[in-house]
Chains A and B, each alone.
Chain A
Amino acid sequence: MSVFKDAGHLFRFAGLFVLAFIVFLVVRHFVVPPSFGQYGHYRAAAIAEIASRPVKFAGHDTCEACHSDVADKKSKGKHAHVNCEACHGAQAKHASADDPSTVKPVLPDTTVLCARCHTASAAKPKDFPQVVPADHSNGMPCDTCHQPHNPSMDAAAADVPAKPVGGAK
């Protein structure tokens, strides 16, 4: 017993360490969120929080569920692969309204809208249809001649289903 005879101060010190460790564990239990470390060194609940942010673009499948006539017309023309909201803007509010007609989308101004894609530029792919708007239409809105959903001139003139893309003229 002579080994521990004068070791009282060491035991008190060790006791202090044990107490501090217990306090640390208790604090840690309350401070660290329960999902921390579930998948890695981060709070797993953050994933669900980010996933629950609001959606603003409803997606073309939602649009086409009601507007199948437009989808039909569009599928026959050169704009078949352009999704609805690329021109009409975010429409989740319109799509989810009890009566969609109360949240009317604003019709885009074709003078601005069409030029964004079709203004001539050397950086654009060579086979992409490009015009210098001032020379091409003299400032007239594009929808004077072209129907945006099927922009071929044949379709606009006769309002009949257009020829297949790339078909003989």
Chain B
Amino acid sequence: MNINRRQMLILLPAAAIAWKSVLAGTPQDSPNYKMSDHWWGMLIDIPKCIGCGNCVRACSNENAVPKGYFRTWVERYQVEEGRENPRVDSPNGAIDGFPANTNPNLKSFFVPKLCNHCADSPCVQVCPVGATFVSPDGVVMVDDSYCLGCRYCVQACPYGCRYLHPEKNTVDKCTLCYHRITKGLTTACCENCPTGARKLVDFKDPKDPVHEFLRQNNVQVLKPQMATKAKVYYKDLDGSVR
């Protein structure tokens, strides 16, 4: 692209104004974002998660999630000797992390959870009014001006990722930080994960490291038997996780 000095002088302040409003968080369009070029998902590297709860705090702050509700949360699995099922805890969604393990000899690990942004989502299928949908770039979202608050989708979600917003009385859920990813930023949880255990990925981007990651590692989705085509992939997920 050839730009002469005059055009550059016109473009610079315009770019500066646009960038400022991105940072200030003032409502604005994302003119360079093309939905058809993306297909979003997430990678979660379980061996890297330290259960600090940074993702939960960041998500609550970024999305003004009401107290006691969670768009993302961290579970701790403790597989004890002689017990068939693991013990799972997530005190207050792990927003303040976890208390120390009571028995250091057991098998224990953290599992961060969030909306799986299923390509074939049960929550979308049950909505009677078309308030919840999968966007053309693969993000499951709720149109809160259409939502009746009937809670069908809350029951339909196999992963427990939806809740009724106590003030709006409409259903609320993870938007994969759609207001951030359309501006070229990563999600609040990924931005604030100190160990890089969570990574936002774009399956339509041939240069995205996700393709190599899926080839090289042991990956699994949650509840594959539900055939939801979940797009949150877990590395080295233990068989005891449900």
Q: Which residue of B lies closest to A97 (CB)?
A: B24
Q: Is the CB of B143 within 8 A of A42?
A: yes
Contact A117 B52, CB 8 Å, known A55-B185, A122-B106 = yes
- With A90-B62, A119-B100, A121-B51 already in contact, the answer to whether A55 and B192 are too (CB < 8 A) is no
Q: State which size class the interface on A falls in.
A: 35 or more
Partner pick for B100 among A36, A41, A79, A120, CB 8 A cutoff: A120
- Across the interface, do A125 and B98 meet the contact criterion of CB distance under 8 Å? no
Number of interface residues of B (CB under 8 A): 63
Shortest Cβ distance from residue B237 to the other chain A in the assembled complex, whole angstroms: 15
Residues of A near B133 (CB, < 8 A) are: 39-42, 46
Does the CB pair B54–A116 fall under 8 Å?
yes
A59–B54 alpha-carbon span in the complex (Å)? 15
Query: Which residue of the partner chain, among A85, A93, A123, contacts B98 with CB atoms under 8 Å?
Result: A123
User: Quick one: CB contact mask for A61-83 with B, threshold 8 Å, 1 for yes?
Assistant: 01000000000000000010111
Q: A53–B64 Cα gap in the complex (Å)?
A: 11
Complex CA gap A49/B143 in Å reads: 9
The reply to whether the CB of B155 lies closer than 8 angstroms to some CB of chain A is no
Q: How many angstroms from the CA of A95 to the CA of B105 in the assembled complex?
A: 46
Contact with A along B197-220 (1 / 0, CB 8 A): 000000000000000000000000
Contact of B131 among A42, A120, A128 (CB under 8 A): A42
Contacts from A to B (Cβ < 8 Å): 36, 39-43, 46-60, 62, 79, 81-83, 85-86, 89-90, 92-93, 95-96, 116-117, 119-125, 128
Q: Which 7 A-B pairs have the closest CB atoms?
A: A54-B25, A96-B23, A46-B143, A42-B133, A123-B108, A52-B27, A53-B179
